[in-house]
Structure 1
């Protein structure tokens, strides 16, 4: 393996097959951890002493975890839905007019059986966040598991999601225990060569997880996959579940994944191949059922994998956040430019290489109108952090869906610059470097 780390291009331009072989070899050295240090195969045991009182409802559990974290600790960052709540005055006014339909509070999760709230979130691996990720502006105490774990629970449960898709999970047992008290069932699939396992005092490998409400859904079946690149297994994984709404019998599929990180044209190509493999895997499992694909794709909308997902003829997906913002703003160029200007105006805004900018510009030119419109409507960021090599503020997390059989009704807005704070995330007020994505869907009758 050491020899593979020093592979260099030949002086002559490689032919297509040579280039593919070269990229496969490089990919094998970069897709996993492949650390020279020995693995430390710890198991998920750090939360074995956790005790949660029985019989707590969600409101009571949220109060309990706030108390466990410390009542004097900074409060969790507040966020709002794109379609806001109506004031009581407006609601009362509608009632006084005796209208048949009273406008609903759009920010409250619907209890209708075919209305489904999905939460997508990279929660930040505890082992990596505290030891590898270099969050230079985050206080060490804010990165401890004792501080973060209850903020994670608060962020998830305050929105009452029906389905939870998570990445960088290395404390699955904790989540399974505490979410289990609220009637959630979970599935976890670790990375085959998790970088956590090369760090002392790890809590086992990190991976992806899906939780769902067992009182609302029946799990019909599920599958897992180690994503492949040119028929070679990578270090990234996916989970897909087939759920049925208990009261109506309607079935749909949910998938979560976490694609390869890091910048560069080679990594962009690898992510695109992982995306292709993911779509093939989901299509084989789901058939004609409607699909939700959630994940940290580690790719901005201008990267090829974004167009690959939206342009795939097999699944015909759309992006929930792009669609709800297009509906709200009619996605005019002014609003898109305004969002971009807000990010570019930051003194520490992330800079990208000229090669990456040029490659993305060429790729966008090749996209169809549907993809270009979706790119323009994506939020300006889903992750905002400061590392040793600078500030990173961009959109890399998504919720994709089948628009013919799902209607996106609402999405959770992202906090403003001044709300995030000058040190960005993670922080005492937010436990991850990624913000959660929360989307409300209505499962439609097939047309």
Structure 2
């Protein structure tokens, strides 16, 4: 049933003229035993449709990639491609669509919206965004569930951020053991690091009061990098949590990115423009033409054979300096790629580029790790993880794109619940 639906979605993508989804490797950590009952968990901020456009527009993303006709296909295609038993989603403002699509292939869904969703401020919105949990009914039994409202000091102030807690047991197990799944979405943007710390403290305390030492999985877009205080709160909570995607790297560090986007403004208005590759080519052609003209002028002004030779020598020196600088930059880039280090949002690049039409574009590129799957350490065994796409596969326009419908990458892991 799921494979048939996935085949139909792939055909629809072909009909829309879309490329294949971003290629991503599967990283097998250990082989499962013959009688292991695997729990495959997906974590994904799907990008609310209402928030895909506006003042913080994805300026290098083709306009077609942001159309709902395209995204509605690609979102479900990505989920069914990964075949998760549990799906944790954030920024869901099209819950009716997700319910209709996923129920066809055996999923049941839970949803809790933000209290003051920014989607409601967008014209022609489809309702508030929020968090959702979907699960396959033939594999899992839903024992209970609860909505999560997050409060922070002073005075237990109610936040706009929310979550869901669901308790499951596996159906094909002789002695099923209950386990818990949480999905949440913490406050976004730089400058709110302390608020995210307080939200993480409240969340972990709230979950601890309800599950104690029982096994728990916490998924979410935490909107903060591993260097932020919230990360230490999660690690040091009574829940004894560990981030499963640290297993993806040899040094057990978080991956270099889970989101990679370019946002900006065009002539004071948000507008989708041509891809950065095309802009760079045009700018390069203009610069090359101007340089040739200057060179011709210098030659025309040069007098005598000695002056001509001196000019040639200076030009050769200039070219040699440019070549050395290009080699230096290439070496720096290779070193950065080897280390797989990512600049924080406080180090985001501000760039101004010129388009074919002469408009000027101020863009901000953000590449960071802010999405996580946390597990009760010692309660689960991780068998495998979905790897990240390479930078060259993501492309210069970054995310979202025609090959991927969100600015966040999905995280997927195979787990075994220990006895």
TM-score normalised by length of structure 1: 0.68
| Native 8 Å contact 1:113 1:247 kept in 2 | no
| Native 8 Å contact 1:343 1:393 kept in 2 | no
| Native 8 Å contact 1:343 1:349 kept in 2 | no
Q: Distance in 2 between matches of 1:286 and 1:216?
A: 22
| Native 8 Å contact 1:79 1:412 kept in 2 | yes
Query: Relative to 1, partners in 2 of residues 1:237 and 1:331: Cα closer, same or farther, differing over 3 Å?
Result: closer
For 1:275, the equivalent position in structure 2 comes to 200
Q: Distance in 2 between matches of 1:417 and 1:400?
A: 25
For 1:342, the equivalent position in structure 2 comes to 337
Deviation at residue 130 of structure 1 after TM alignment: 2.2
Instruction: Provide Cα deviations, 1:297-335, integer angstroms capped at 9, x if missing partner.
Output: 0000000000100011x200001011x235xx25499x9
| Native 8 Å contact 1:350 1:390 kept in 2 | no
**Partner-residue secondary structure (3-state), 2:405:** coil
For 1:236, the equivalent position in structure 2 comes to 161
Q: Distance in 1 between matches of 2:54 and 2:2?
A: 32
For 1:79, the equivalent position in structure 2 comes to 24
TM-score normalised by length of structure 2: 0.73
Q: Distance in 1 between matches of 2:243 and 2:399?
A: 25
2:136 paired with 1:141: no
Aligned match for 2:7, one of 63, 68, 78: 63
For 2:41, the equivalent position in structure 1 comes to 118
2:316 paired with 1:321: no
Q: Distance in 2 between matches of 1:201 and 1:130?
A: 12
Deviation at residue 206 of structure 1 after TM alignment: 0.3
Deviation at residue 342 of structure 1 after TM alignment: 2.2
Q: Distance in 2 between matches of 1:435 and 1:131?
A: 21
Q: Distance in 2 between matches of 1:441 and 1:297?
A: 21
| Native 8 Å contact 2:41 2:87 kept in 1 | yes
**Partner-residue secondary structure (3-state), 2:76:** helix
Structure 2 gap ranges (5+): 258-332, 349-360
| Native 8 Å contact 1:168 1:206 kept in 2 | yes
Q: Distance in 1 between matches of 2:197 and 2:203?
A: 10
Deviation at residue 345 of structure 1 after TM alignment: 8.9
Q: Distance in 1 between matches of 2:36 and 2:136?
A: 12
**Partner-residue secondary structure (3-state), 1:352:** helix
Aligned match for 1:424, one of 383, 390, 398: 398
2:218 paired with 1:293: yes
| Native 8 Å contact 1:186 1:212 kept in 2 | yes
Aligned match for 2:108, one of 168, 181, 185: 185
Structure scoring higher RCO (CA < 8 A, sep ≥ 6) equals 2
| Native 8 Å contact 1:69 1:146 kept in 2 | no
Q: Distance in 1 between matches of 2:380 and 2:163?
A: 22
Q: Distance in 1 between matches of 2:336 and 2:239?
A: 34
Q: Distance in 1 between matches of 2:107 and 2:244?
A: 24
Q: Distance in 2 between matches of 1:226 and 1:117?
A: 27
Larger radius of gyration: 2
* Pairs aligned (count): 327
Q: Distance in 1 between matches of 2:362 and 2:169?
A: 46
Alignment of 1:337-416 (within 5 A): 341-342=336-337, 352=346, 389-416=363-390
Structure 1 gap ranges (5+): 1-56, 85-102, 355-386
Deviation at residue 80 of structure 1 after TM alignment: 1.0
Q: Distance in 2 between matches of 1:133 and 1:275?
A: 26
Deviation at residue 134 of structure 1 after TM alignment: 1.4
Q: Distance in 1 between matches of 2:61 and 2:148?
A: 34
Query: Relative to 1, partners in 2 of residues 1:70 and 1:317: Cα closer, same or farther, differing over 3 Å?
Result: same
Q: Distance in 1 between matches of 2:49 and 2:27?
A: 30
Q: Distance in 2 between matches of 1:188 and 1:59?
A: 25
Deviation at residue 218 of structure 1 after TM alignment: 0.8
More strand by share: 2
Q: Distance in 1 between matches of 2:362 and 2:231?
A: 28
Instruction: Provide Cα deviations, 1:61-90, integer angstroms capped at 9, x if missing partner.
Output: 112122334433222111111228xxxxxx
For 2:181, the equivalent position in structure 1 comes to 254
Query: Relative to 1, partners in 2 of residues 1:339 and 1:286: Cα closer, same or farther, differing over 3 Å?
Result: farther
**Partner-residue secondary structure (3-state), 2:26:** coil
Q: Distance in 2 between matches of 1:233 and 1:218?
A: 32
Deviation at residue 350 of structure 1 after TM alignment: 6.2
**Partner-residue secondary structure (3-state), 1:193:** coil
Measured on the aligned residues, the alpha-carbon RMSD in Å equals: 2.9
**Partner-residue secondary structure (3-state), 1:272:** helix
**Partner-residue secondary structure (3-state), 2:209:** helix
For 1:306, the equivalent position in structure 2 comes to 231
| Native 8 Å contact 1:113 1:216 kept in 2 | no
Instruction: Provide Cα deviations, 1:408-446, integer angstroms capped at 9, x if missing partner.
Output: 11111111110110110000000000000001111001x
Aligned match for 1:204, one of 121, 127, 142: 127
| Native 8 Å contact 1:113 1:245 kept in 2 | no
